[in-house]
Structure 1
Amino acid sequence: MAPQITDDQLDAFLAAHQALGAAAAHREGERTGGVEPLLPVLAAHLGTEPRGLAVHTAELAVLRRVDVDIAVAAVVEAAGGGRLLGIGGGDQRTHQSLSEMLQNAGSWPAHFPVGPVDYHRAATGPDTTRQTVAFGMHLFAVDGVPVALLQRRASMRHQGSPLVEVLCPDEGTATEVLTRVRHEMDARSALRGQVVTFAASPFDPGESGVVHVRRPVVPREDVVLPHGTLDRVERQVLGVAQHRDALRAAGQHLKRGVLLYGPPGTGKTHTVRYLVGASPGTTVILLSGPALQLIGVAAETARALQPSIVVLEDCDLVAEERAMHSSSPVLFEVLDALDGLAADADVTFLLTTNRADVLEPALAQRPGRVDLAVEIPLPDDRARRRLFALYGQGLPFTDAALDAAADATAGMTASFVKEAIRRAVLLAAEAGRAVRDEDLADAVAEMTGDSERITRSLLGVAD
């Protein structure tokens, strides 16, 4: 019959084993000229041979590196704190998993030595930053169980995604640590309630990043649209959020898609800016151009940080009618993102397009993808008069001059009106005097002349 081992005897054995590992690490450091090898340090902390343990890995969203750092710090702090150490080895570290690093460290003690921690400073808001761990090993214990957690900002083997790799003699504890990291990422996210854009790098996914944007302030009266148009958009974007509890109680879905369509320069982006400003506390993710390829990450982030709005500017560039040899991979990501959210997710997809006629019918017509399509048309006579008054606010133009300018610009866009006011001020500045009514008339006449045909096209006017 095998002898019984008491808890005190087992604790004493583990303490002696850890002390032996620490002594071995110190002696190896002296032998290698002050270089402290990694393996003995991990063995002393874990109480066992590290290379015999399974490595539990979590690959996290590439654009949430700051959230990963915040989450790991919170988990370590909740466990009572720990030790943070760096690992040497140069660029080889970025190309090898933790398991591979441990195996190679065993073949040559100084291959991956203990070294300084790598840090990276990242933005947490328009005016704030945080120093994050770019490559470092956290040694701590959860309820007495030792844990070694390797945090790396980006892995070249994982398309730039941040990685968290956990070594622990108890697999249940390792799984629990990773679960806690994911939970804390959402609970403490630096993105929650902010307005951000995701910047995609076509050359190095690891350089894709987050750009924080100040929440715009656009007064409602500065949104010049046909009567009732803004009310419809507000009800779908803002009203659903305001009455989310009543809708959920009635079994109604919260996720929604709103499409703003119309010619360039009519105010679609201006309307979006108003809606973003009128949604304080809502997480807003703005995607346009190459960043539209990050729609999957944006949808996942929006779901985790709801209430949220995902803005897809000029979605016709990626969501054109599917035809042979012309399918866009980004289109399928957009459709998957719209379909993948739970019905009760308080997430708005706000799309803008200059060409609704070329949009994929499945995106524009099927319920659950886009629930409301609203035309933002060219301003009529009344709207142009309001626009001239809005953009000319504070300038000494008479009502008669504003009326004449509105009458002379039929078919022009809001962007055209804004540029006409600016050009009138420029003409006056060139003449060395204050702006006058005739400057506005001259600016309008100049911009509506034959020589400005290309300019008008750039401002959204279709000749």
Structure 2
Amino acid sequence: MDEKLGEFLRNFNRAIDLAQAHRDETPGRVRLLDVLTVHLGMSAPDLPILAQDFPVHRFADLDIAVEKISGQDPQARLIGVGGGQQRHHLSLSDLVQQEYGPVSVGQPDFVNLAVGPDSTREVVALGLRLFVYEGSPLAVLQRAANPQYGRNGTDIAVLAPEREAAARFLAAIQEDLRTNSILRGQVVSFAFDPYGQQGAGVTFLHRPSLPPDEVILPDGVLDRVGRHVLGIAANRETLRKHGQHLKRGVLLYGPPGTGKTHTVRHLLSASAGTTAVLLAGSSLHAVGEAARLARAMAPSMVILEDIDLVAEDRNMGHGPQPLLFEVLDALDGLDADADVVFLMTTNRAEALERALVQRPGRVDLAVEIPLPDVGNRVRLLELYAPAGVFSEDALRAAAEQSEGATASFARELVRRAVLAAVDAGEEPGDQHLAAAVRELMGQGEALTRSLLGAGGEDPAGGVSGGPGLLPDGQEPEPEVSVGYSFGWVGQGGTRYVPLPRTT
């Protein structure tokens, strides 16, 4: 049995050698090693290789920088790597040392990457650029991320007769990435799809268009938030001149559906030219990378939706939360004069980690986005209702009958009224709005009201409110009044915390 196995293996290896020899002798095929040796003027296997990794979301920037710098040589060439699927597993060192046999020159691989909400760029996913840089010949292998082949990042590897020339080229790439980017001024969210095609690592979003008159909040609240988020950015040079810090943290808290995300959309709308990184759900784990991107692309904004998901009080009994420390490091890691705002939202302010909300420099401003009063509920219904369909009296009656309703509830109320009219084959009118109010406020829609954020009472039985944002003994600012809320802390019973509330 052993002799037969040995004979089989010898025959198998011989077949591989014959196939490789036949491929190398195929007319028209050029060995990659020969091309590299001729271009570099020296035996390629004897030369040093410098490699560097880059974040996936900077791959399009990397491609632009490499093309621009290599393009300074009018004789620059772009070639590919042959060898079928095997080439995706080989490093530049493998290709040069021929660890897995000779490799021929092939066609470069390309992939389309998004470089904006509505634009793409054809990027070299696997290819070699041959050019002369500052008098020294270089060969640069460029690779995209490809989880299918075990590569979760992007990289370039530089082969050169002079190690110093390769180092200078990599430094020039880094400098270009520091000052230029397709991400600057864009609104992006991090996207991680290990099963997708080679991607940019980010999703480009259209900047919202939301005027202030469509943000229904208590008087003064939107202005206060706007001064801190947009006003500081508009006066950054004057503030720097007077030694004032620009980095800031803003927390919007309140019950679900009251308009926290809507407020964020307005701030994005009013901050054209500012780079914005949105993190929500599973992408919250990228807060460290988002902070580094924000620093490089300032002025910028990092939006952390539902921050309590990763920054819950460690005393709440849910064990350690590694992402909490990522958030704290991100907030602390930026220079004070960096024009970066961390804009956070939460429905459960009382559950936030005290190290996040009570340490100076992490959250400079906390603003409650409360349930709308009757006047604002009328304004919400007027905003969402088709113009001229419902009378002022009907809108006022609907607002008065929906105590504790949210902006989400008002939108759904109007939709229900229109749907009822359509089902009846009638034009929407006051009677349909009144019927929608009775339906949504009825006993059978209790869960729907809860999902829409309607209510006003804390499900745990307390009063909805914010976290302890002021250290013990410190008086609140004049425009802030103090209330109280409570949260269970481990097994220690009830803790009462002073709450800042916007008047």
Measured against aligned partners, the alpha-carbon deviations of 1:370-418 in whole angstroms (never above 9, x if no partner) come to 1111111111111111111111141411110111011011111110011
Provide the residue aligned with 2:77 in structure 1. Answer: 83
Q: Of 407, 417, 439, which aligns to 1:414? A: 407
Contact 2:146/2:197 (<8 A) preserved:
no
Q: Is structure 2 residue 97 aligned with structure 1 residue 119? A: no
User: Using a 3 Å threshold, how does the CA distance of structure 1 residues 247 and 159 change in structure 2: closer, same or farther?
Assistant: farther
User: Using a 3 Å threshold, how does the CA distance of structure 1 residues 337 and 159 change in structure 2: closer, same or farther?
Assistant: farther
User: Using a 3 Å threshold, how does the CA distance of structure 1 residues 395 and 286 change in structure 2: closer, same or farther?
Assistant: farther
Aligned to 1:344, the other structure's residue is in SS state: coil
Question: Which stretch of structure 1 is more off in the superposition, 234-243 or 81-90?
Answer: 81-90
Provide the residue aligned with 2:176 in structure 1. Answer: 184
Post-superposition offset of 1:300: 1.3
Q: Is structure 2 residue 160 aligned with structure 1 residue 168? A: yes
Q: Is structure 2 residue 437 aligned with structure 1 residue 447? A: no
Provide the residue aligned with 1:131 in structure 2. Answer: 122
Measured against aligned partners, the alpha-carbon deviations of 1:300-334 in whole angstroms (never above 9, x if no partner) come to 11111111111111111111112576222222211
Contact 2:385/2:414 (<8 A) preserved:
yes
Contact 1:70/1:189 (<8 A) preserved:
no
Aligned to 1:189, the other structure's residue is in SS state: coil
- Distance (whole Å) between structure 2 residues aligned to residue 350 and residue 227 of structure 1: 21
Contact 2:134/2:165 (<8 A) preserved:
no
Cα RMSD between the aligned structures? Answer: 2.1
Q: Of 208, 229, 234, which aligns to 1:242? A: 234
Provide the residue aligned with 1:270 in structure 2. Answer: 262
Counterpart AA for 1:47: G
Question: Which stretch of structure 1 is more off in the superposition, 319-328 or 242-251?
Answer: 319-328
Contact 1:74/1:184 (<8 A) preserved:
no
Contact 1:389/1:402 (<8 A) preserved:
yes
Post-superposition offset of 1:159: 5.2
Q: Is structure 2 residue 364 aligned with structure 1 residue 335? A: no
- Distance (whole Å) between structure 2 residues aligned to residue 268 and residue 81 of structure 1: 56
Post-superposition offset of 1:89: 2.9
Provide the residue aligned with 1:146 in structure 2. Answer: 137
Contact 1:161/1:206 (<8 A) preserved:
no
Provide the residue aligned with 1:229 in structure 2. Answer: 221
- Distance (whole Å) between structure 1 residues aligned to residue 280 and residue 423 of structure 2: 37
Q: Name the TM-score, length of structure 2 as normaliser.
A: 0.82
- Distance (whole Å) between structure 1 residues aligned to residue 200 and residue 349 of structure 2: 30
- Distance (whole Å) between structure 1 residues aligned to residue 150 and residue 181 of structure 2: 22
Q: Is structure 2 residue 89 aligned with structure 1 residue 95? A: yes
User: Using a 3 Å threshold, how does the CA distance of structure 1 residues 393 and 49 change in structure 2: closer, same or farther?
Assistant: same
Q: Of 306, 315, 326, which aligns to 1:314? A: 306
Q: Is structure 2 residue 47 aligned with structure 1 residue 53? A: yes
Measured against aligned partners, the alpha-carbon deviations of 1:27-74 in whole angstroms (never above 9, x if no partner) come to x99734432211111111111122222211111112222111111111
- Distance (whole Å) between structure 2 residues aligned to residue 371 and residue 263 of structure 1: 21
Aligned to 1:124, the other structure's residue is in SS state: strand
Aligned to 1:63, the other structure's residue is in SS state: helix
Provide the residue aligned with 1:13 in structure 2. Answer: none
Provide the residue aligned with 1:12 in structure 2. Answer: none
Q: How many residues align?
A: 433
Q: Of 291, 305, 320, which aligns to 1:299? A: 291
- Distance (whole Å) between structure 2 residues aligned to residue 183 and residue 386 of structure 1: 51
Contact 2:24/2:31 (<8 A) preserved:
no
Provide the residue aligned with 1:5 in structure 2. Answer: none
User: Using a 3 Å threshold, how does the CA distance of structure 1 residues 275 and 54 change in structure 2: closer, same or farther?
Assistant: same
Post-superposition offset of 1:295: 1.4
Structure 1: segments with no counterpart, 5+ residues: 1-27
Question: Which stretch of structure 1 is more off in the superposition, 419-428 or 173-182?
Answer: 173-182
User: Using a 3 Å threshold, how does the CA distance of structure 1 residues 232 and 162 change in structure 2: closer, same or farther?
Assistant: same
- Distance (whole Å) between structure 2 residues aligned to residue 310 and residue 365 of structure 1: 20
User: Using a 3 Å threshold, how does the CA distance of structure 1 residues 203 and 334 change in structure 2: closer, same or farther?
Assistant: farther
Aligned to 1:201, the other structure's residue is in SS state: coil
Counterpart AA for 1:257: G
Post-superposition offset of 1:342: 1.4
- Distance (whole Å) between structure 1 residues aligned to residue 269 and residue 190 of structure 2: 19
Q: Name the TM-score, length of structure 1 as normaliser.
A: 0.89
Higher helix share: 1
**Structure 1 segments (4+ residues) deviating >4 Å:** 155-159, 202-208
Measured against aligned partners, the alpha-carbon deviations of 1:173-215 in whole angstroms (never above 9, x if no partner) come to 2112112212222433111111111112366896673211111
